[in-house]
Chain A
Amino acid sequence: MKSIKSILLLFTILCSFQAFCQNDKTVEMADVLRRDGKIYTVVISLVVILTGLVLFLLRVDKKVSVLKDEIEKRM
Protein backbone atom coordinates (compact mmCIF):
# COMPACT_ATOMS: atom_id res chain seq x y z
CA MET A 1 0.00 0.00 0.00
CA LYS A 2 2.82 2.36 0.91
CA SER A 3 4.62 1.70 -2.41
CA ILE A 4 1.37 2.31 -4.38
CA LYS A 5 0.92 5.62 -2.59
CA SER A 6 4.50 6.70 -3.32
CA ILE A 7 4.13 5.70 -7.00
CA LEU A 8 0.88 7.70 -7.24
CA LEU A 9 2.57 10.68 -5.61
CA LEU A 10 5.49 10.48 -8.04
CA PHE A 11 3.07 10.19 -10.95
CA THR A 12 1.10 13.31 -9.96
CA ILE A 13 4.30 15.29 -9.45
CA LEU A 14 5.56 14.26 -12.87
CA CYS A 15 2.24 15.32 -14.40
CA SER A 16 2.70 18.82 -13.01
CA PHE A 17 5.68 19.31 -15.27
CA GLN A 18 3.25 19.67 -18.12
CA ALA A 19 2.41 23.11 -16.76
CA PHE A 20 5.94 24.33 -17.38
CA CYS A 21 5.73 23.40 -21.04
CA GLN A 22 3.58 26.50 -21.77
CA ASN A 23 5.63 27.97 -24.55
CA ASP A 24 6.27 31.72 -24.73
CA LYS A 25 5.84 31.55 -28.47
CA THR A 26 2.11 30.75 -28.15
CA VAL A 27 1.39 34.42 -27.38
CA GLU A 28 1.52 36.58 -30.49
CA MET A 29 3.83 39.51 -30.24
CA ALA A 30 5.51 41.76 -32.76
CA ASP A 31 8.18 39.14 -33.44
CA VAL A 32 7.91 39.48 -37.21
CA LEU A 33 8.48 43.18 -36.90
CA ARG A 34 11.58 42.50 -34.89
CA ARG A 35 12.86 39.76 -37.18
CA ASP A 36 12.67 42.08 -40.17
CA GLY A 37 14.38 44.82 -38.19
CA LYS A 38 11.33 47.06 -38.70
CA ILE A 39 11.05 47.69 -34.99
CA TYR A 40 13.92 50.12 -35.41
CA THR A 41 11.88 52.08 -37.92
CA VAL A 42 9.17 52.43 -35.28
CA VAL A 43 11.65 53.53 -32.65
CA ILE A 44 13.46 55.97 -34.93
CA SER A 45 10.23 57.63 -36.06
CA LEU A 46 9.16 58.06 -32.44
CA VAL A 47 12.58 59.49 -31.60
CA VAL A 48 12.23 61.96 -34.47
CA ILE A 49 8.83 63.10 -33.19
CA LEU A 50 10.18 63.36 -29.65
CA THR A 51 13.20 65.35 -30.86
CA GLY A 52 10.90 67.78 -32.65
CA LEU A 53 8.85 68.29 -29.51
CA VAL A 54 11.93 68.62 -27.30
CA LEU A 55 13.51 71.21 -29.61
CA PHE A 56 10.28 73.21 -29.58
CA LEU A 57 10.18 73.00 -25.79
CA LEU A 58 13.80 74.16 -25.53
CA ARG A 59 13.08 77.08 -27.84
CA VAL A 60 10.11 78.20 -25.76
CA ASP A 61 12.15 77.74 -22.59
CA LYS A 62 14.89 79.99 -23.95
CA LYS A 63 12.43 82.70 -25.01
CA VAL A 64 10.85 82.67 -21.56
CA SER A 65 14.19 82.94 -19.80
CA VAL A 66 15.22 85.82 -22.10
CA LEU A 67 11.99 87.62 -21.22
CA LYS A 68 12.60 86.95 -17.55
CA ASP A 69 16.13 88.40 -17.71
CA GLU A 70 14.92 91.48 -19.57
CA ILE A 71 12.32 92.29 -16.96
CA GLU A 72 14.65 91.55 -14.06
CA LYS A 73 17.08 94.06 -15.58
CA ARG A 74 14.43 96.72 -15.87
CA MET A 75 13.30 96.31 -12.27
Chain B
Amino acid sequence: MTSIKSYKLSWWKILTIVLLYYSVVGGFLWPVPRLHILNESIRLFYFHFPMWCAMLLLFVISVVSSIKYLRSQKISDDEYAVESAKVGMLFGVLGLLTGMLWGKATWGVFWTNDPKLNNTAISLMIYTAYFVLRSSLNDETQRGRLSAVYNIFAFCVLIPLIFILPRMVDSLHPGNGGNPGFRLFDTSHDMKLVIYTAILAFCLLGWWLTSLLITLKKYKRLRDEIN
Protein backbone atom coordinates (compact mmCIF):
# COMPACT_ATOMS: atom_id res chain seq x y z
CA MET B 1 0.00 0.00 0.00
CA THR B 2 3.04 2.25 -0.24
CA SER B 3 2.28 4.13 -3.42
CA ILE B 4 -1.51 4.22 -3.15
CA LYS B 5 -1.45 7.95 -3.74
CA SER B 6 0.21 7.69 -7.14
CA TYR B 7 -1.94 4.74 -8.25
CA LYS B 8 -4.81 5.92 -10.37
CA LEU B 9 -7.26 3.54 -12.01
CA SER B 10 -8.02 4.42 -15.63
CA TRP B 11 -11.62 5.13 -16.58
CA TRP B 12 -11.84 2.15 -18.88
CA LYS B 13 -10.70 -0.20 -16.10
CA ILE B 14 -13.42 1.07 -13.80
CA LEU B 15 -15.87 0.69 -16.70
CA THR B 16 -14.73 -2.90 -17.19
CA ILE B 17 -15.40 -3.77 -13.56
CA VAL B 18 -18.81 -2.06 -13.57
CA LEU B 19 -19.86 -3.76 -16.80
CA LEU B 20 -18.68 -7.16 -15.58
CA TYR B 21 -20.82 -6.89 -12.46
CA TYR B 22 -23.74 -5.62 -14.50
CA SER B 23 -23.45 -8.54 -16.91
CA VAL B 24 -23.28 -11.15 -14.14
CA VAL B 25 -26.08 -9.74 -12.02
CA GLY B 26 -28.33 -8.76 -14.92
CA GLY B 27 -27.52 -11.96 -16.74
CA PHE B 28 -29.04 -14.03 -13.98
CA LEU B 29 -31.77 -11.84 -12.59
CA TRP B 30 -33.35 -10.36 -15.66
CA PRO B 31 -35.96 -12.17 -17.78
CA VAL B 32 -34.99 -14.19 -20.81
CA PRO B 33 -37.07 -15.79 -23.57
CA ARG B 34 -38.66 -19.02 -22.51
CA LEU B 35 -37.54 -21.57 -25.10
CA HIS B 36 -37.78 -25.35 -25.15
CA ILE B 37 -34.57 -27.36 -24.83
CA LEU B 38 -32.57 -24.25 -23.90
CA ASN B 39 -34.59 -23.31 -20.79
CA GLU B 40 -32.34 -21.30 -18.47
CA SER B 41 -29.12 -22.24 -20.26
CA ILE B 42 -29.87 -19.46 -22.74
CA ARG B 43 -28.14 -17.26 -20.16
CA LEU B 44 -24.86 -18.87 -21.18
CA PHE B 45 -25.18 -16.79 -24.32
CA TYR B 46 -24.19 -13.77 -22.22
CA PHE B 47 -20.84 -15.41 -21.48
CA HIS B 48 -20.05 -17.89 -24.25
CA PHE B 49 -20.48 -15.45 -27.12
CA PRO B 50 -18.46 -12.56 -25.55
CA MET B 51 -15.55 -15.00 -25.07
CA TRP B 52 -15.32 -15.39 -28.82
CA CYS B 53 -15.72 -11.65 -29.41
CA ALA B 54 -12.84 -10.97 -27.05
CA MET B 55 -10.72 -13.72 -28.63
CA LEU B 56 -11.35 -12.33 -32.11
CA LEU B 57 -10.51 -8.78 -31.06
CA LEU B 58 -7.27 -9.91 -29.44
CA PHE B 59 -6.25 -12.06 -32.41
CA VAL B 60 -6.90 -9.09 -34.71
CA ILE B 61 -4.66 -6.93 -32.50
CA SER B 62 -2.10 -9.72 -32.62
CA VAL B 63 -2.06 -10.05 -36.41
CA VAL B 64 -1.96 -6.27 -36.92
CA SER B 65 1.01 -6.07 -34.54
CA SER B 66 2.69 -8.91 -36.44
CA ILE B 67 2.28 -7.05 -39.71
CA LYS B 68 3.61 -3.87 -38.06
CA TYR B 69 6.60 -5.82 -36.75
CA LEU B 70 7.47 -7.10 -40.19
CA ARG B 71 7.50 -3.53 -41.44
CA SER B 72 9.17 -1.76 -38.50
CA GLN B 73 11.33 -4.49 -36.86
CA LYS B 74 10.54 -2.83 -33.50
CA ILE B 75 10.53 -5.32 -30.64
CA SER B 76 7.55 -3.61 -28.99
CA ASP B 77 5.34 -4.72 -31.89
CA ASP B 78 6.48 -8.28 -31.37
CA GLU B 79 5.59 -7.99 -27.68
CA TYR B 80 2.10 -6.76 -28.55
CA ALA B 81 1.66 -9.66 -30.96
CA VAL B 82 2.62 -12.40 -28.54
CA GLU B 83 0.87 -11.07 -25.44
CA SER B 84 -2.42 -10.40 -27.22
CA ALA B 85 -2.20 -13.88 -28.77
CA LYS B 86 -1.72 -15.32 -25.29
CA VAL B 87 -4.80 -13.67 -23.83
CA GLY B 88 -6.76 -14.37 -27.02
CA MET B 89 -5.86 -18.03 -26.62
CA LEU B 90 -7.12 -17.92 -23.03
CA PHE B 91 -10.46 -16.52 -24.14
CA GLY B 92 -10.65 -19.07 -26.93
CA VAL B 93 -10.18 -21.92 -24.48
CA LEU B 94 -12.76 -20.40 -22.14
CA GLY B 95 -15.13 -20.10 -25.07
CA LEU B 96 -14.64 -23.76 -25.90
CA LEU B 97 -15.20 -24.77 -22.27
CA THR B 98 -18.37 -22.71 -21.90
CA GLY B 99 -19.54 -24.08 -25.23
CA MET B 100 -18.94 -27.63 -24.05
CA LEU B 101 -20.94 -26.98 -20.90
CA TRP B 102 -23.74 -25.49 -22.94
CA GLY B 103 -23.64 -28.44 -25.32
CA LYS B 104 -23.90 -30.85 -22.42
CA ALA B 105 -26.95 -28.97 -21.18
CA THR B 106 -28.76 -28.82 -24.50
CA TRP B 107 -27.39 -31.54 -26.80
CA GLY B 108 -26.54 -34.00 -24.05
CA VAL B 109 -22.88 -34.34 -25.01
CA PHE B 110 -19.75 -32.28 -24.39
CA TRP B 111 -18.56 -32.55 -27.98
CA THR B 112 -20.02 -33.58 -31.31
CA ASN B 113 -18.59 -34.26 -34.72
CA ASP B 114 -19.63 -30.80 -35.75
CA PRO B 115 -17.71 -28.64 -38.27
CA LYS B 116 -17.80 -25.48 -36.19
CA LEU B 117 -16.57 -27.20 -33.04
CA ASN B 118 -13.85 -29.16 -34.79
CA ASN B 119 -12.66 -26.17 -36.80
CA THR B 120 -12.47 -23.97 -33.71
CA ALA B 121 -10.41 -26.59 -31.91
CA ILE B 122 -8.12 -26.85 -34.92
CA SER B 123 -7.65 -23.05 -35.08
CA LEU B 124 -6.73 -22.95 -31.40
CA MET B 125 -4.26 -25.76 -31.91
CA ILE B 126 -2.68 -23.75 -34.75
CA TYR B 127 -2.25 -20.85 -32.34
CA THR B 128 -0.75 -23.19 -29.75
CA ALA B 129 1.84 -24.11 -32.37
CA TYR B 130 2.62 -20.37 -32.64
CA PHE B 131 3.80 -20.39 -29.02
CA VAL B 132 5.75 -23.59 -29.55
CA LEU B 133 7.46 -21.96 -32.53
CA ARG B 134 8.39 -18.90 -30.49
CA SER B 135 9.90 -20.93 -27.69
CA SER B 136 12.03 -22.91 -30.12
CA LEU B 137 13.87 -19.84 -31.44
CA ASN B 138 16.49 -18.00 -29.45
CA ASP B 139 17.54 -15.12 -31.64
CA GLU B 140 15.19 -12.18 -31.02
CA THR B 141 14.99 -10.93 -34.59
CA GLN B 142 14.56 -14.36 -36.10
CA ARG B 143 11.94 -15.27 -33.53
CA GLY B 144 10.05 -12.06 -34.18
CA ARG B 145 10.12 -12.48 -37.93
CA LEU B 146 9.21 -16.14 -38.13
CA SER B 147 6.47 -15.92 -35.52
CA ALA B 148 5.02 -12.81 -37.19
CA VAL B 149 4.71 -14.67 -40.49
CA TYR B 150 3.20 -17.68 -38.73
CA ASN B 151 0.75 -15.43 -36.87
CA ILE B 152 -0.52 -14.00 -40.15
CA PHE B 153 -0.98 -17.51 -41.52
CA ALA B 154 -2.77 -18.64 -38.35
CA PHE B 155 -5.19 -15.73 -38.48
CA CYS B 156 -5.86 -16.16 -42.19
CA VAL B 157 -6.69 -19.80 -41.56
CA LEU B 158 -8.86 -19.06 -38.52
CA ILE B 159 -11.29 -16.82 -40.39
CA PRO B 160 -12.51 -19.32 -43.00
CA LEU B 161 -12.32 -22.26 -40.59
CA ILE B 162 -14.52 -20.72 -37.93
CA PHE B 163 -16.78 -18.36 -39.81
CA ILE B 164 -17.09 -19.45 -43.43
CA LEU B 165 -16.81 -23.25 -43.64
CA PRO B 166 -19.35 -24.10 -40.91
CA ARG B 167 -22.01 -22.02 -42.62
CA MET B 168 -21.61 -23.97 -45.83
CA VAL B 169 -22.34 -27.39 -44.34
CA ASP B 170 -24.87 -28.92 -42.02
CA SER B 171 -24.19 -27.98 -38.45
CA LEU B 172 -25.85 -28.25 -35.09
CA HIS B 173 -24.27 -25.07 -33.80
CA PRO B 174 -26.50 -21.94 -33.87
CA GLY B 175 -25.67 -19.68 -36.79
CA ASN B 176 -24.53 -22.42 -39.16
CA GLY B 177 -26.00 -25.05 -41.43
CA GLY B 178 -29.39 -23.44 -41.69
CA ASN B 179 -29.88 -22.80 -37.99
CA PRO B 180 -30.85 -19.30 -36.99
CA GLY B 181 -27.84 -17.63 -35.41
CA PHE B 182 -27.72 -14.37 -33.57
CA ARG B 183 -31.29 -13.86 -34.70
CA LEU B 184 -32.46 -16.74 -32.57
CA PHE B 185 -31.71 -14.66 -29.52
CA ASP B 186 -32.03 -11.29 -31.17
CA THR B 187 -35.80 -11.50 -31.29
CA SER B 188 -35.83 -10.78 -27.60
CA HIS B 189 -35.27 -7.24 -26.45
CA ASP B 190 -34.76 -8.61 -22.94
CA MET B 191 -31.48 -10.13 -24.01
CA LYS B 192 -30.24 -7.02 -25.73
CA LEU B 193 -30.06 -5.36 -22.30
CA VAL B 194 -27.19 -7.56 -21.19
CA ILE B 195 -25.48 -8.97 -24.26
CA TYR B 196 -23.97 -5.75 -25.60
CA THR B 197 -22.53 -4.76 -22.23
CA ALA B 198 -21.23 -8.30 -21.72
CA ILE B 199 -19.41 -8.21 -25.07
CA LEU B 200 -17.91 -4.82 -24.21
CA ALA B 201 -16.99 -5.96 -20.69
CA PHE B 202 -15.10 -9.04 -21.82
CA CYS B 203 -13.37 -7.24 -24.70
CA LEU B 204 -12.19 -4.57 -22.26
CA LEU B 205 -11.13 -7.25 -19.78
CA GLY B 206 -9.15 -8.96 -22.53
CA TRP B 207 -7.43 -5.70 -23.37
CA TRP B 208 -6.70 -5.03 -19.66
CA LEU B 209 -5.03 -8.42 -19.23
CA THR B 210 -3.07 -7.92 -22.45
CA SER B 211 -1.89 -4.46 -21.41
CA LEU B 212 -0.71 -5.85 -18.07
CA LEU B 213 1.32 -8.55 -19.80
CA ILE B 214 2.74 -6.10 -22.34
CA THR B 215 3.76 -3.63 -19.61
CA LEU B 216 5.46 -6.41 -17.65
CA LYS B 217 7.38 -7.59 -20.68
CA LYS B 218 8.38 -4.12 -21.83
CA TYR B 219 9.62 -2.96 -18.46
CA LYS B 220 11.46 -6.20 -17.79
CA ARG B 221 13.27 -5.63 -21.05
CA LEU B 222 14.01 -1.99 -20.18
CA ARG B 223 15.23 -2.98 -16.72
CA ASP B 224 17.55 -5.56 -18.27
CA GLU B 225 18.85 -2.92 -20.67
CA ILE B 226 19.62 -0.54 -17.80
CA ASN B 227 21.42 -3.19 -15.74
Question: Are A and B subunits of one complex?
Answer: yes
Q: Which residues of A contact B (CB under 8 A)?
A: 24, 27-30, 39, 42-43, 46-47, 50, 54, 57-58, 60-62, 64-69, 71, 74-75
Whether, in the assembled complex, B142 has its beta carbon less than 8 Å from a beta carbon of chain A, the answer is no
CB < 8 Å A-B pair total: 60
Whether, in the assembled complex, B24 has its beta carbon less than 8 Å from a beta carbon of chain A, the answer is yes
Q: Which residues of B contact A (CB under 8 A)?
A: 2-3, 6-7, 9, 13, 17, 20-21, 24-25, 28-29, 34-36, 39-40, 208-209, 212, 215-216, 219, 222-223, 226
Smallest CB separation, A42 vs chain B (Å): 6
Candidates A28, A47, A60, A66; contact of B7 at CB < 8 Å: A66
Smallest CB separation, A39 vs chain B (Å): 7
CB pairs A–B below 8 angstroms (23 shown): A27-B39, A39-B28, A42-B28, A43-B28, A46-B28, A47-B21, A50-B24, A54-B17, A57-B208, A57-B209, A60-B212, A62-B7, A64-B215, A65-B7, A65-B215, A66-B2, A67-B215, A68-B219, A69-B3, A69-B6, A71-B222, A71-B223, A74-B223
Smallest CB separation, A49 vs chain B (Å): 9
Given contacts A57-B208, A69-B3, A74-B223, could you give 14 more A-B pairs where the C-beta distance is less than 8 Å?
A24-B34, A29-B39, A30-B39, A30-B40, A42-B28, A43-B24, A50-B24, A61-B9, A65-B215, A66-B3, A66-B7, A68-B215, A69-B6, A71-B226
Name B25's closest neighbour in chain A (CB-CB).
A43
Candidates A29, A46, A60, A71; contact of B24 at CB < 8 Å: A46
Name A65's closest neighbour in chain B (CB-CB).
B7
Residue with the highest number of chain A CB atoms closer than 10 Å, among B9, B34, B208: B34
| A61 with B20: CB separation less than 8 A | no
Candidates A29, A54, A61, A71; contact of B40 at CB < 8 Å: A29
A68 neighbours in B (Cβ, 8 Å): 215, 219
A66 neighbours in B (Cβ, 8 Å): 2-3, 7
Q: A12 to B223, alpha carbons, bound, how many Å?
A: 81
Smallest CB separation, B20 vs chain A (Å): 6
| A27 with B36: CB separation less than 8 A | yes
